[in-house]
Amino acid sequence: MALILNWPSRACRFLAAFSFALAALGVNISTNSLSAANDFTALFPQFVSIRKGQLLCVVIAWAVLPWKLLASAGTFLNFMAAYAVFLGPIAATMLFDFWVVHVRKYDTLALYTYNGIYKHYHGLNWRAFVTFLAGVAPNMPGFIHGVNRDADVGVGVRPYQFGWLLGFTITTVFYVGLEKIFPPRETFIERAVLPDEIYERHGQSEGVRVEGFKAWNELARCELS
């Protein structure tokens, strides 16, 4: 941007700035609205498609008052720091579940089957839920102070200063520990079942139930539409 300011032509400066704005808009739409749409589709697959989920994200986004978040650099940085408090535990759960607990062996078809092996207890893996709370809890006093500077939380603000790393570490220890003490044995399989294998064999994969293949195809069609 500093280089563009030195260009003599106002038209060139406008086009360069416009390209930056367009790129930022496109990146945010693709990374934020699509991820939200995937979550809405997973929660309500019978009612919400990817396209409807994106439109729902646009409507709900107004509730967080984005113009206030961007009112100043300090407010925006506080928001990003608070955002990281929740991302650390989520990243730890996803990372260590795939690489350590299940050793890269996922049944892709079962992930999209309602009564599959990953349903756990009424669709909730209580181990992940407990460890998420454990990873977020130490950062909550600092989070409250970050949102409201008038709140006196004492030394509670210090863990918040490295909140992502602290949440990631605590969640890792708790999650791996609970998975070892209370292992979900039904989720452990001998080999990974990949999407390409399911499509090539039309749902007839060794050691894999085929009743979920129809749901898999329906989900793929929804995403394409």
Residue 219 above 60 pLDDT? Answer: no
Locate the domains of the chain by residue range.
Answer: 67-224
Per-residue pLDDT, averaged over 204-222, amounts to 49
Per-residue pLDDT, averaged over 39-63, amounts to 89
pLDDT computed for residue 147 by the predictor = 73
- Which pTM was predicted? 0.70
Mean pLDDT over all residues of the chain?
85
Q: Which contiguous run of DSSP H or E holds residue 152?
A: none
One DSSP character per residue, 39-78 reads HHHHH-TTT--HHHHHHHHHHHHGGG-HHHHTS-HHHHHH
pLDDT grade for 53, boundaries at 50, 70 and 90: very high
